[in-house]
Amino acid sequence: MKYHILYNPAAGCGKGKEESQFLDALYDGEICRRDIREIKDYAEFLSPLGENDTIILCGGDGTINRFVNATDGIEIKCEILYYAIGTGNDFLRDIGKTTECNPFSIKKYINDLPTVEINGKTYRFLNNVGFGIDGYCCEVGDKLKKTSDKPVNYTSIAIKGLLFHYKPTAATVTIDGEQFRYEKVWIAPTMKGRYYGGGMMPTPAQDRTDPSGYLSLMIMHGSGKLKTLMVFPSLFKGEHIKHSDMVAIHTGQEISVTFDRPAAVQIDGETILGVTSYRACAKMPMTVIQ
């Protein structure tokens, strides 16, 4: 058996390679360790791998996102395990596991992921695509990472954004062809799982394993800075949904969100700047005919 450990050196506050070395004691077999960022041609990398090979992804949600987008459309014959060494770990939280778990198979979670189209380009996403202050937080966080090795406190960025920097905008939302209009939109994430942003739960009823593959959109809208700031902490327990005057949740197979001005969008924590709209589509599992 050969184990291909693909690690993200930036994960775990820059300790990705070091953390991945703990796996050496778990497996009897040949171990090949590689920086995931150095793989340029995944078709070439994966073609010789078969049933006697195992890939172990070492990193966080962004590492899985990088892998599933880079391998989209490529047949993967070997097993794929995941060893969580990230800081947010929303995927791990959503499926009821912790960073104390040994590597586990994620093939069933990544086979039928939803897609999002932004500026004519299509991406797969593991947890969510976020428009609003969450995109703003990722934008600011990216800037901080360039100047410091310290962990980014996204909650602090969000609170400061709510109070001083981020300006809400109107948005048009389309759910499976039905259109809605919202004013003063603060957050508009479309969710595959329940969690994002290091533990926030915008759509508590979302189920990534539901056979329909549906997605959920949460809109926080219509309120001023102070009330939004007061309700914001309840996102971590999913209790914000009690505020029906300022929180709306939609579910569907195809979800489009259009803002009235350009803003940052994040896909599993990866930022795209200057976006005015996105269109997310559920990936329906294939029906097997007996």
Q: Domain coordinates of the chain in residue numbers?
A: 2-110, 115-281
Please name the residues in contact with 143: beta carbons below 8 A apart, sequence gap of 6 or more: none
- Topology of domain 2-110 in CATH is Rossmann fold (3.40.50)
- For 115-281, CATH gives 2.60.200.40
The Cα 111–Cα 59 span in angstroms is 19
Domains 2-110 and 115-281 alike in fold: no
pLDDT tens digits, residue range 106-138?
Answer: 999 998 899 999 999 999 999 999 988 888 888
Mean pLDDT, range 11-39, rounded to an integer: 89
Q: Whole-model pTM?
A: 0.89
b/e per residue 6-26 (b: at least 16 CB within 10 A): bbbbbbbeeebbebbeebeee
Mean pLDDT of the chain: 91
In angstroms, rounded to a whole number, what is the distance separating the alpha carbons of residues 203 and 197?
13
